[in-house]
Structure formats: C-alpha cells, structure tokens
Amino acid sequence: RPRWWYIAVAECSDAGEDLLIEYQMHATNTGYGWAVEFSTDKRFMPHVFAALLVVYACLSLAQLHANRAVAQRAKDDSANGKAAHPFAQILTAGVLLALGDSLFSALHLAVFASNGVGLAWIQVLSQLLSVTANFVLASLLLLVSQGKCISYVMVANDAWSMLRLLGPFLVSCFFLEMWGESSVSRNYDTNYVYTTPVGWALIFLDLLLLSIYATGLRKTYKAEHSPDVAVFYSRWGVVY
C-alpha cells in the first residue's frame, strides 16, 4: 500500500563535533513499470494529460473549422453574425491555449518519467498557458451571461472589465499552484494546495464567480426576446 518515508541522520556520539556528510538519494516506485519515478498520487498523470491532449486536439480542429464558418457568416450585415464572430474567436483562443497546456504538460511528464526531474521551464510554461486558457474561457462565459457576443456586440471595455474581475483571482491560483510544486515544505505534507487557508479562500471566490455567472445568465435569458437565442441560453448556458 502507499507509504510516506521519512529519513533522518543524527550525531549520537559524545564528541560534540559537527557531523559532515555527503549523500545522494534516488527513490523510485519499482512496482509501477515505466512510471517508477512517479509518486502514488501522480502515477496516472501521464495518462490523464495524454487523454486531454487528444481531446483538445480534436476540439481545436473542430473549432477552427467552425471559426471559419462563423467568420464567413459575419461578413453579412446581421447583428447576430457580427456578435457571434468574437464569440468564436475567443472560444478558439481558449481551446488552443488549453491544447498548448496539455502538450507541454505531457512533455514535462514524459521527461519526468525518464529522469525524475522533468523540465522546470516547460512546467512553468504549461502553468502559464493553463491560467491564460482559464482566463479566456471564464471571461467568455461571464460575457455570455451578460448577453455579449450573442445578443449584443462585444466592445473593448468588456475585455478590460473581465481582466479586472478575473485577473487577480487567476494570478493567485497560478502562484499557489507553483508554490505547491516548488516549495520544499510541500514535500512533507500530503494535503492538496487548495486545502490550505489560501486555497479554501480561492475556492470560495470560484464559487462566487459561478454564482455571478448563473445570476447573469438567468437575467439575460428572461430579457431575451428571440426564441432561438433564448434556447441557446437555456441549453448551452447550463452546459457551459
């Protein structure tokens, strides 16, 4: 069964002299086959990110195809066509960023499987892509809950308002996760970073953003006069 090992060295003689030692330790889980370098809690991470890489690659191809169709539709003079084009562009950007995150995460884990260290700069880059993808997709959802990109055309001030609302939250998530990956103190703690006091506070803010989205989507749905657009809010708004 999974275990946590703690190793200590102490000077037990009466000499009272400093104990000077040099050591090198390399711990592996020999029963994990090719995943010997992974701890029990991260054993299946390569499988997860490999699956995500395939999923986001398929979604990216589908979204790029849909984006071309929406761009062609936006050339007409309809308000819906002009509003939908930014929606498709933002969604495409979010999916492509998530694809990049999955790609670099899978690469880092592949290197980690071979040497037990991985590539630190690749890991940081994947985390940055993850935060950026989350910002883009969360911004899109909040804009949709306000009717932007669907019933109304998005303007530059909408992007700035999303940055002010989501920026501090997502930057805090990024630094918390990087601290969880790099801090020496985390090597002696089995708890997840989001079960720390700061992590719980970020979870509370995440739930608050969810309530803002749900409330805004409900108001937009009630105010929508087009039956087709109202169906979009009632169906896809809940799915998103």
pLDDT tens for each residue of the chain, 240 residues long: 556 777 787 777 776 677 778 888 888 888 888 888 888 878 888 999 999 999 999 999 998 888 787 777 666 555 455 555 777 888 889 999 999 999 999 999 999 988 888 888 898 899 999 999 999 989 988 888 888 877 777 777 888 888 888 888 888 988 888 887 776 555 556 667 888 888 899 999 999 999 999 998 888 888 888 887 788 788 877 777
Q: Report pTM.
A: 0.77
Residue 116 per-residue DSSP state = S
Element at 99 (helix H, strand E): helix 79-115
Dihedral sign from CA coordinates of 240, 192, 136, 130: negative
Q: Residues 5, 27: contact at Cβ < 8 Å?
A: yes
Residue 196 corresponds to which tokens in the numbers above? 């720390």
